[in-house]
């Protein structure tokens, strides 16, 4: 009997040792959980209402790619897409050549041209370039982008050190108001990108890649960047601002909510933050319902079937505990928000129409 117990104990010890070895060799980057829950799942094929996508980019490489994109839009009930091109007047023509055949399906936006920034007259030049884009058909400005070092998304010249609330931006933003061109701007990043990429980081799957170094001299941190947007909305009340990605305040939506309540000219798109809000469905749904008149549907990803369907599933369904690590790049379990139809319709199109109707 003692020999049997000894052998059994040895077998358990070996199994534990093997299991520990396998656990020690498993890399987080290879973690691909599969839900074990056999809960009801919706099978959404297209958006519940016609959609205006307020945040996409120049993903089409050729005119044929544009044709395919339109077919996909038809398939998923996407009525119109805002293509945030980002180049100034000189780069706007190439985008116009690709998408101009579908004026009812795509609206092109441009960015600011900071050529000569820091020298006398640069603002006059920037305004003139903006007017050129407007006359060619640009319907808005953006996506501008400031992750701490200034507005660096625009081309051909970036605005290093130039934040959206800088007094030097006022002539440009005033011209946007005059031309009824909304300004779409990405400020900051989500909170986990600023935290130390260690075992306590909730976004560890991507924390090393997307880490923001706040020690860089002159770089604004998360809260200062959010405040720069609030300042710009306050100081330019006739200019419509669209804060991209929930103003990168997904971990504390109240920050965005307070700004939406305070500034009538401020909206926010929900593009590319579906995985960030789907782990907290009750919290996120309550926020969207409360601010249903100020939020805009967007994608910000290559127009693929699975991408569109994921956004609809998260917004419309009551699906529970599912994963999309290949597409959404997180280890978090996701949940559908099950938003009411009236809220979905505003999110998908009605709020966008309020802004876009200023073009007419």
281 domain residue, yes or no = yes
Average pLDDT (38-65) is 96
Mean pLDDT of 341-353: 98
139 found inside a domain: yes
Cβ-defined contacts of 131-134 (< 8 Å, 24+): 131/175, 131/179, 132/89, 132/92, 133/88, 133/89, 133/92, 134/179, 134/181
DSSP element (H, E) containing 314? helix 305-316
Structural domain boundaries enclosing 70: 47-312+342-359
pLDDT of residue 323 exceeding 90, the answer is yes
Say if 110 falls within a structural domain. yes
β 106-109/295-296 pair status? unpaired
Handedness of CA 19, 279, 353, 134 (dihedral sign): negative
Number of structural domains found in the chain: 1
Comparing CA positions, the residue from 127, 224, 226 lying closest to residue 186 is 226
Contact criterion met (CB below 8 Å) for 320 and 39: yes
Task: State the DSSP H helix or E strand holding residue 187, giving kind and residue range, or none if neither.
Answer: strand 183-187
pLDDT at residue 13 greater than cutoff 80: no
pLDDT class for 3, splitting at 50, 70, 90?
Answer: low
Residue 74 domain-assigned (yes or no) = yes
> Above 60 in pLDDT, residue 242?
yes
95 found inside a domain: yes
- As a whole number, mean pLDDT of residues 127-135 equals 95
Q: Which residues contact 19 (CB under 8 A, 6 or more apart)?
A: none
In angstroms, the CA 108 to CA 92 distance is 9
Residue 305 lies in a domain: yes
| Higher pLDDT, residue 265 or 156 | 265
Q: CB of 136 within 8 A of CB of 149?
A: no
pLDDT the model gives residue 1: 55
**pLDDT digit string, tens, across residues 95-107:** 999 999 999 999 9
Q: Give which of 1, 47, 49, 13 is closest to 350, Cα–Cα.
A: 49
In a domain, 59, yes or no: yes
pLDDT, residue 14, reads 47
Q: How far lies 304's CA from each of 71, 100, 327, in Å?
A: 11, 21, 11
The enclosing domain of 82 has a CATH number of: 3.20.20.140
* 30-39 pLDDT, tens digit each: 888 899 999 9
Q: Is residue 183 part of a domain?
A: yes
Q: Give mean pLDDT, residues 254-280.
A: 97
Give the separation between CA 25 and CA 17, rounded to whole angstroms: 12
């Amino acid at each position: 009997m003692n020999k049997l117990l000894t052998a059994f104990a040895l077998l358990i010890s070996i199994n534990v040792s093997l299991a520990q070895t396998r656990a020690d060799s498993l890399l987080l980057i290879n973690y691909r959980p599969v839900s074990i829950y056999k809960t009801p799942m919706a099978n959404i094929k297209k958006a519940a209402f016609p959609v205006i996508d307020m945040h996409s980019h120049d993903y089409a490489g050729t005119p044929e790619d544009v044709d395919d994109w339109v077919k996909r839009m038809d398939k998923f009930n996407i009525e119109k897409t805002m293509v945030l091109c980002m180049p100034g007047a000189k780069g706007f023509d190439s985008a116009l050549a690709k998408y101009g055949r579908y004026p009812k399906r795509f609206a092109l936006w441009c960015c600011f041209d900071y050529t000569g920034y820091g020298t006398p007259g640069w603002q006059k030049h920037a305004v003139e370039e903006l007017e050129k884009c407007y006359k060619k058909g640009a319907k808005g400005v953006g996506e501008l982008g400031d992750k701490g070092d200034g507005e660096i998304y625009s081309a051909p010249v970036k605005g290093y050190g130039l934040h959206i609330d800088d007094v030097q931006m006022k002539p440009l933003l005033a011209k946007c108001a005059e031309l009824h061109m909304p300004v779409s701007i990405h400020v900051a990043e989500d909170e986990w990108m600023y935290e130390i990429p260690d075992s306590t980081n909730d976004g560890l799957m991507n924390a090393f890649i997307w880490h923001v170094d706040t020690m860089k001299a002159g770089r604004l941190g998360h809260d200062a960047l959010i405040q720069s947007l609030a300042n710009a909305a306050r100081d330019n009340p006739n200019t419509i601002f669209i804060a991209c990605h929930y103003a990168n305040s997904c971990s504390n939506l109240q920050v965005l909510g307070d700004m939406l309540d305070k500034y009538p000219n401020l909206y926010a798109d929900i593009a590319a933050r579906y995985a960030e809000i789907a782990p907290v469905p009750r919290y996120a749904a309550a926020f969207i319902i409360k601010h249903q008149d100020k939020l805009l549907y967007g994608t910000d990803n290559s127009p693929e079937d699975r991408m569109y369907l994921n956004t609809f599933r998260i917004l419309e369904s009551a699906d529970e505990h599912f994963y999309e690590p290949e597409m959404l790049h997180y280890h978090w379990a996701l949940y559908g928000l099950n938003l009411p139809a009236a809220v979905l319709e505003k999110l998908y199109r009605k709020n966008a129409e309020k802004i876009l109707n200023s073009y007419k």
